[in-house]
Structure 1
Amino acid sequence: MPETSEPSIFTRIVAREIPADIVFENDTMIAFRDINPQAPVHLLVVPKTGQYRNVSELAAGDPALLAELVGTAKHLAEEHAGGEYRLIFNEGPSAGQTVFHVHAHVLGAGPDGGLAEGSLGQ
């Protein structure tokens, strides 16, 4: 995985150095709309700490924060996608991870329909 001393784009969003369409924020989490949505609802849920590069590191280092991330994703899915959603973590470049600051993708249907099996990940 790439090593960098530069702050991640998500760290820069938390610091308000880069604008984002923020839909949720508290002391430990921020969530915003993905700029390249892969579904009618596509939100990113990001712990404010940049300490963990991926979900495995987060699970090992702070399981309570991982539980909070999942709970936040569920809350946002209820609010934005009728409570039905996909929760995706990419880990590693070959799995599609491009930002090495742990985050979850919340994907949901819009008001006009669902997410068919096989409709994502191509």
Structure 2
Amino acid sequence: MFCEIAAGDKPGYVVLSDDVAVAFLDTRPVFKGHVLVVPNGHVETLADLPVEAVGPLFRKVQAVARAVEEGLAAAGTFVAMNNKISQSVPHLHVHVVPRNRKDGLRGFFWPRVKYEGDAEIEDYAARVRSALRS
């Protein structure tokens, strides 16, 4: 599924796409603006990612985390990754979740919210995309 989004074969609310990574909104976000960053090319887990690709991928994660804070006026971010266990899609992906004080996130219990529709999800994607360019 993530390979298809990265290749442009499946629709996604993409906020970043280059030769290193693709980042797009999670359609079942913990909080609105929750972004997934995936390497270009299929890699299942962090252990499978070639060593020389770790730095470039995490520079993209860092840029997305900054953009989520700036574009969504979030106080911070929660950055996480599952490997095998709780990895709902067998493709390496890093969660970048906008955070604010008293937002209700406690520990590793991740409540999920829904976007009101395509217009709202596109608005969130556009805001993060715009902050990545600045």
Same-fold status (TM-score > 0.5): yes
Give how far 1:68 is off.
1.7
Query: C-alpha separation between the residues in 1 aligned to 2:59 and 2:81?
Result: 14
1:53 aligns with 2:41: no
Counterpart for residue 4 of structure 1: none
Structure 2: tracts of 5 or more residues without a match? 111-134
Task: Tell me the TM-score normalised to structure 1 length.
Answer: 0.75
Query: C-alpha separation between the residues in 1 aligned to 2:92 and 2:9?
Result: 19
1:69 aligns with 2:57: yes
Output one character per residue of 1:3-35: Cα deviation in whole Å (capped at 9) or x when no partner. Answer: xxxxxx011112212100000111121100000
1:33 aligns with 2:25: yes
Q: CA RMSD in A?
A: 2.0
1:121 aligns with 2:109: yes
Secondary structure at 1:85's aligned position in 2?
A: strand
Do the aligned partners of 1:41 and 1:81 also contact (CA within 8 Å) in 2?
no
Percent identity between matched residues is 24
Q: Relative contact order: is structure 1 or structure 2 higher (C-alpha 8 Å, sep ≥ 6)?
A: 2
1:106 aligns with 2:87: no
Counterpart for residue 19 of structure 1: 11
Task: Tell me the TM-score normalised to structure 2 length.
Answer: 0.69
Do the aligned partners of 2:80 and 2:96 also contact (CA within 8 Å) in 1?
yes
Secondary structure at 1:78's aligned position in 2?
A: helix
Q: Which runs of 4+ in 1 moved over 2 A?
A: 113-117, 119-122
